[in-house]
Structure 1
């Protein structure tokens, strides 16, 4: 089971190493560009699990009013430096620190996988809660269920933990939360150098 405190401590400890490993190109970013084509400049968009802010939060800030949230204070400090136009808040995706219907769209790139498996439905429910009616969501998940721990992630000596729910379970979580899935992409791109992980991206809209 994922220990969220271990995830927070891990990202605090390896913030610089993780930022250096991040790849700003790839198909995941192309998916984001397509998603943003349908988002107006006046829209308020949340990046849930924004990390150090690049490239997702930065791209959002160039197209809309962007807000980033992350469990890691160190990651948010880097995001503040790299994406000064965005507003930032520390918080847990299973209990987002925002009012109901605060956003027109939400993105969650490779962040669901750090939530405990039993909270994945809660996270989807939180995305729905903070979105306006017909609000849009773009999120990624691994195609198959998997959980694991790496005690030396990125060769830093820092532990990291994951629980991937898998695409089938994520479809059910989104539908239960009130989303209609409009499109899916299979993407061999993790935004990390040297990482050939596969992802399923879901573009969904909240039913009004």
Structure 2
């Protein structure tokens, strides 16, 4: 099972290296732009697992009231510098520090994969809880279930852990939380670490 403390400590230690390696172009930002373009004016959007704020939180802040949350305090410090207009809060995706119905939309890029597998359903339920009726979510997940650790992630001497639930399970979690999936797209990994992983991006709406 993923140890959240290992994940938090890892992202604290690797914050600047990760920010430098995360690609800022490509299909992921195109998918995000399409999603944001369908949101109401002045939408309040939560980026769940915002990391250092680039590029998702920064893109959101250009047209929405953007809020970021992350388990890593160091990542949030980077986000504060990179996206000064965004509000930030440290928190656990399985127990979001926000009231019910606080947001019109939630984004979660490459963050569910660091949550213990038995909590993925709870996290999606938390996304539903903090959304208004008819609110929307855009999240990424690996195609197939997989779990793993790396004691030297990005050649930075930092330990990291993952537990990917897979696309089928994520589809089920969304449905059980009251979401209707509106679009699903496959994207190659944009992190420059030499892998050929693919991600499924789900855009879904909370049914009223």
Give the TM bin, normalised by the shorter chain: over 0.9
* Residue in 1 that maps onto 2:177: 177
> For 1:68 and 1:195, how far apart are their aligned partners in 2?
27
1:160-171 correspondence runs (5 A): 160-171=160-171
3-state secondary structure, aligned to 2:201: strand
Structure 2 unaligned blocks of 5 or more: none
> For 1:12 and 1:184, how far apart are their aligned partners in 2?
31
> For 2:26 and 2:196, how far apart are their aligned partners in 1?
11
Structure 1 unaligned blocks of 5 or more: none
* Residue in 1 that maps onto 2:156: 156
- Following TM superposition, by how much is the alpha carbon of 1:195 offset from its aligned partner in structure 2, in angstroms? 4.1
* Residue in 2 that maps onto 1:89: 89
**Does structure 2 conserve the Cα–Cα contact (< 8 Å) formed by 1:47 and 1:68?**
yes
* Residue in 1 that maps onto 2:66: 66
3-state secondary structure, aligned to 2:100: coil
* Residue in 1 that maps onto 2:191: 192
Aligned residues between the structures:
207
3-state secondary structure, aligned to 1:184: strand
TM-score, normalisation: structure 1: 0.98
**Does structure 2 conserve the Cα–Cα contact (< 8 Å) formed by 1:40 and 1:63?**
no
> For 1:148 and 1:192, how far apart are their aligned partners in 2?
17
> For 2:197 and 2:29, how far apart are their aligned partners in 1?
15
- Following TM superposition, by how much is the alpha carbon of 1:197 offset from its aligned partner in structure 2, in angstroms? 1.8
Q: Which runs of 4+ in 1 moved over 3 A?
A: none
TM-score, normalisation: structure 2: 0.98
> For 2:69 and 2:201, how far apart are their aligned partners in 1?
20
- Following TM superposition, by how much is the alpha carbon of 1:40 offset from its aligned partner in structure 2, in angstroms? 2.5
